[in-house]
Structure 1
Amino acid sequence: MANFAKSQVPRFSVDVYQNEFLPEGGREVSAIVTVTSTGGGTSGGAPLVPPRASASPAGIPAAAPSAAVVIMVDCSGSMDYPPQKMRNARDATAAAIDTLRDGTEFAVVAGTHIARQVYPESGGLAVAGPGTRADARNALRRLSAGGGTAIGTWLRLADELFAGARARIRHGILLTDGRNEHESPAELHGALESVAARFTCDARGVGTDWEVKEVTGIASALLGTADIVADPAHLADDFTAMMENAMGKEVADVSLRVWTPVGVEFVFVKQVAPTVEDLTARRTEAGPRAGDYPTGSWGDESRDYHICVRVPEAGIGQEMLAARVSLIVPAGEGGSPQVLSQGLVRAVWTDDLASSTAINPQVAHYTGQAELAQVIQQGLDARKSGDIDGATAKLGRAVQLAEASGNADTAKLLSKVVDVVDAATGTVRLKAKVADADEMTLETRSTKTVRVKK
């Protein structure tokens, strides 16, 4: 088992990067908001707002678990081709269980066209300790492949299990090797809508026979990560890393609250690092002129968000508060929501042309990273539809953006799909043959960004 030391609750800070100067008549204000959580370590210690403690059999209040985890393993018939794929999935799940911190609530679900709880067999959630880890590993030996794929049923069972958890941090790990062929897209979408905001979930596709947009869509809806594990032999390392990350979460259900004054129009809010994720449509109202946007659970980490608002026209020399951005955690029992930190977005009108036309480096960088993610998706879609010219243009632009921003990882992935003639100008040729794993890796990781160069 991984050795996680207990730690303190992390501290949050909000830093705002923008060019607040607008020309006369200027209205659109953009800012990059960097949220940083520090001081929590990687232990996943007690949540910031702890749930009510339960009583032990002796009547003494027991400390509530800090996290609950449900691992959903694809056991459809395709997991037997090749046979070692199922064995690798069992080994990876065992490795993840070994990484659980003592006291973590957990369960394992076998997913086919139905969902079946594998451990604990009696239902509910087990509490991680030497005995339950050994029992869970024994239960994994009974996993076998057979049946179809209906991922929505897996997610609904996980949600039922989490409903009985005492922990505030609730995280799923989902593995699939095929397409979701035994339920309709509407059924999967309905399942995602019903469980969203109830738990977060990392999703992984193993091999190359699964649908990228399905897996990335699951991770996006549930505020988790998505990736490809093309070689099943690498599953154990990937599962271990995912579980270590889950065990490092300290604070659950953090929201980004954006308040705007009267007359200010909200345009969008996007996460832009470490991945691009448009949060605009996920707004929940939080009082007059305020909206909350979910960010999931946090450990020791930093993320960047792009906020854009439209202010009323004003004259030279005037200034105003364009938006207030706050980090919020839900109320504890009988309490009120807690503000962790906040930052201000300003607008100042000036006749200084140099000031009003300068583009803030952070805003410029992440605008380019968002475009990079978009043109990769557009280029791959064009390639699949046979639009060679369109694919070449979009993927060429992607190479140019990756080169300009220093996104070396994405540039390397692009080089497996196109021959780069001149990166600076985006001149490329589509490769005649591209391995499925290379194309799927580029598509799955297209939203990963690099931070602004210091």
Structure 2
Amino acid sequence: MANFTKPTGPQFSVDVYQNEYLPEGGRDVSAIVTVTATGNGAGPAPARVPAQGPADAVPGAPAPAAASGSAAVVLMLDCSGSMEYPATKMRGAREAAAAAIDTLRDGTSFAVVAGTHVAKEVYPGGGRLAVADASTRAQAKEALRALDAGGGTAIGTWLRLADRLLSASDAAIRHGILLTDGRNEHESAEELRAALDACAGRFTCDARGVGTDWEVDEVKGIARALLGTADIVADPAGLADDFTTMMENAMGKEVADVALRLWTPVGVEIVFVKQVAPTVEDLTGRRTEAGPRAGDYPTGSWGDESRDYHVSVRVPQAAVGQEMLAARVSLVVPDPAGGAPTTLSQGLVRAVWTDDMAMSTSINPQVAHYTGQAELADAIQQGLDARKSGDRDGATAKLGRAVQLAAASGNADTAKLLSKVVDVVDAATGTVRLKAKVAEADEMTLETRSTKTVRVKK
């Protein structure tokens, strides 16, 4: 992989890890695509050492750099009546919002929204965004002190107000942070879905549930639709630290609306496209067409970070000795003026047919690892669903398999969460017993974090 230096903005690289060899008649090709955004142009990106020879990676153009002040953030705080029980939730939310405001970079546009069965502007008001400096931070924190709890919960109205506020900004990075403590009881699931559909692609959003009275599927659904993160903060005392971390991450984003573009030759079918690190997210159904035999899969905003994607395609059958380009993977960003998008970097996925059984049956370590991590996430969800429905045998089998996969892959964080739901007899074989009593917060934490993965061991 070639590296290069550019004057400003992060540098992107694409590495492709795969076993390109297929037996005669073989059709299924899998590859792990590692996308890395590095630094602020101070130097070249570090080269990765492949576990098994990567396909060629072609460096592309530098990413457009985000100037200071080119970010806009809206904080959405649940102020429904349940936030007063216990009172530490509302107090924790105010303190968390204040900590997040203190983390804002000077020049960042921002606003605070109070969410109940309606959405209200807390600061600055008038359908505007404030610009962060010492004075506006102090004013915003003063406005937070007046927040109290009362009313219902209609999250779609919060998101739509955030969208209206953010749409008034020309900032490159538009981000929301949403906190809720309860179920979305004052609007239908269809209304929330419509709001998410309207906001998708317009801003990213991190979602947090505080306490244990909220729905995991709702919070994860918000984050999934708006390309953000989801998590639980069971104890309100942890909100300030969590909000500070979220805001620091938001302030670190430099390039928005990045898409993974997949081009395939005639006759090649796309089986799936998934993000597999740092979390498992299936992007297959989020494809938008981008020209003949090309489609874009959204990845959101990027700072200094690395993510892995699993691309699976099905190629036409071919004879031994033949080879073909199975797919070209590019990282692209749109042109603000409406012209052709900028290609940041690209990599190639190949297929080569051989009669060497050792070559064609070898499994690439990255592909094997992330296949296991995706199975781990599925096993946890299926096991928890079975447990909730009273299917103890099914829950034991699935959660046992999850314990086995977590141990084999070195996913210590997930293994620790699983140990709060099952008694582990033998992790290597996946032998477990369901615990008779499980704290609701422990079960919700496991479910919320089930899709978090670990990188391949080097």
TM-score relative to the length of structure 2 = 0.93
Distance in 2 between residues matched to 1:191 and 1:395, nearest whole Å: 34
Q: Deviations over 1:83-119 (max 9, x none)?
A: 1210110010000000000000000000000000100
Gap runs ≥5 in structure 2: 1-6, 43-61
Q: 2:319 aligns with which of 299, 309, 315?
A: 315
- 1:13 alignment partner in structure 2: 13
Distance in 2 between residues matched to 1:85 and 1:64, nearest whole Å: 34
How far 1:48 sits from its partner (Å)? 4.5
Q: Contact 2:280 / 2:452 at 8 angstroms: preserved in 1?
A: yes
Q: 2:226 aligns with which of 222, 226, 229?
A: 222
Please give the residue correspondences for 1:3-402 in structure 2 after superposition, counting only pairs within 5 Å. 8-40=8-40, 48-49=63-64, 65-333=69-337, 335-402=339-406
Q: Which runs of 4+ in 1 moved over 6 A?
A: none
How far 1:336 sits from its partner (Å)? 2.1
Distance in 1 between residues matched to 2:197 and 2:125, nearest whole Å: 28
Q: Contact 1:48 / 1:250 at 8 angstroms: preserved in 2?
A: no
Distance in 2 between residues matched to 1:40 and 1:437, nearest whole Å: 40
Distance in 1 between residues matched to 2:434 and 2:338, nearest whole Å: 60
Superposed CA RMSD: 1.4
Number of matched pairs: 433
Distance in 2 between residues matched to 1:334 and 1:176, nearest whole Å: 37
CA distance 1:48–1:380, change in 2 (3 Å): same
Distance in 2 between residues matched to 1:48 and 1:13, nearest whole Å: 11
How far 1:64 sits from its partner (Å)? 7.4
Specify the SS of the correspondent of 1:347. strand
- 2:45 alignment partner in structure 1: none
Distance in 2 between residues matched to 1:449 and 1:278, nearest whole Å: 14
How far 1:325 sits from its partner (Å)? 0.1
How far 1:123 sits from its partner (Å)? 2.4
Distance in 2 between residues matched to 1:350 and 1:389, nearest whole Å: 44
How far 1:168 sits from its partner (Å)? 1.3
How far 1:8 sits from its partner (Å)? 3.5
Q: Contact 2:69 / 2:106 at 8 angstroms: preserved in 1?
A: no
Amino acid at match of 2:78: D
How far 1:41 sits from its partner (Å)? 8.6
Gap runs ≥5 in structure 1: 1-6, 52-62
How far 1:226 sits from its partner (Å)? 0.4
How far 1:166 sits from its partner (Å)? 1.3
Amino acid at match of 2:40: G
Q: Deviations over 1:189-224 (max 9, x none)?
A: 111011001000000000011010110110011100
CA distance 1:304–1:286, change in 2 (3 Å): same
How far 1:335 sits from its partner (Å)? 3.6
Specify the SS of the correspondent of 1:403. helix
Find out whether 1:411 has 2:415 as its counterpart.
yes
Q: Contact 1:64 / 1:166 at 8 angstroms: preserved in 2?
A: no
How far 1:333 sits from its partner (Å)? 1.7
Specify the SS of the correspondent of 2:128. coil
